[in-house]
Amino acid sequence: MKRDLDLIRKILLKTEDSNLDEALTNIQVEGYESDEIAYNISLLKNAGFLEGEILYEIGSVVPSAYIIFGMTWLGHDFLDACRNEGIWAKAKEKIRTIGNDVPIEVIKAVLIEIMKKQLIGS
C-alpha cells in the first residue's frame, strides 16, 4: 500500500473536526477503502502526527483497526500548512515536478514557502 497525501490531509481534517470527548474508530472518506484509511492512519501515528493505537489481526502486517485519540503538535502544524485548498493544490503541483515520492519534511517546506510568498505578496 502507498502513502496518499490527499487522504492524509483529509484524515487530519476529520480528526480536527471530531468531538474531543470520543476517540475516532471509523473514519470514512469518500473514494477510499477502509484498509487504505487504516494504513494511512498508521503512517500518521508512526510519523508522530496522531495519538492513538493501531490494531492488527494475528499474523497480519496490515492494520485491521485503529483508535485515534487526537492530533499531536506536529499533526496540527502539518494540517495548518496544508489546510488552505489553494496552497495545497499549488504544493502538489510543485511536488509533481520531481515525482510523488517526496519526504513529508519536503512537502511541509514547500507548503510553508508558498504561505510565506502569499504573506509577503499581500
Chain CA centroid to CA 116, Å: 21
Which helix (H) or strand (E) segment holds residue 112: the answer is: helix 104-121
What's the pLDDT tens digit per position in 65-80? 999 999 999 999 999 9
C-alpha cell at 94: 510543485
Tell me, what's the pLDDT at 31?
96
d(CA 51, CA 118): 32
d(CA 39, CA 66): 9
Question: Per-residue pLDDT averaged across 88-93, rounded?
Answer: 94
Residues 13/79, Cβ–Cβ less than 8 Å: yes
- What's the chain's average pLDDT? 91
Tell me, what's the pLDDT at 121?
74
Indicate the burial class of 91 (C-beta count within 10 angstroms; 0-12, 13-18, 19 or more): buried
Residues 88/112, Cβ–Cβ less than 8 Å: no
What's the pLDDT tens digit per position in 4-22? 999 999 999 999 998 767 8
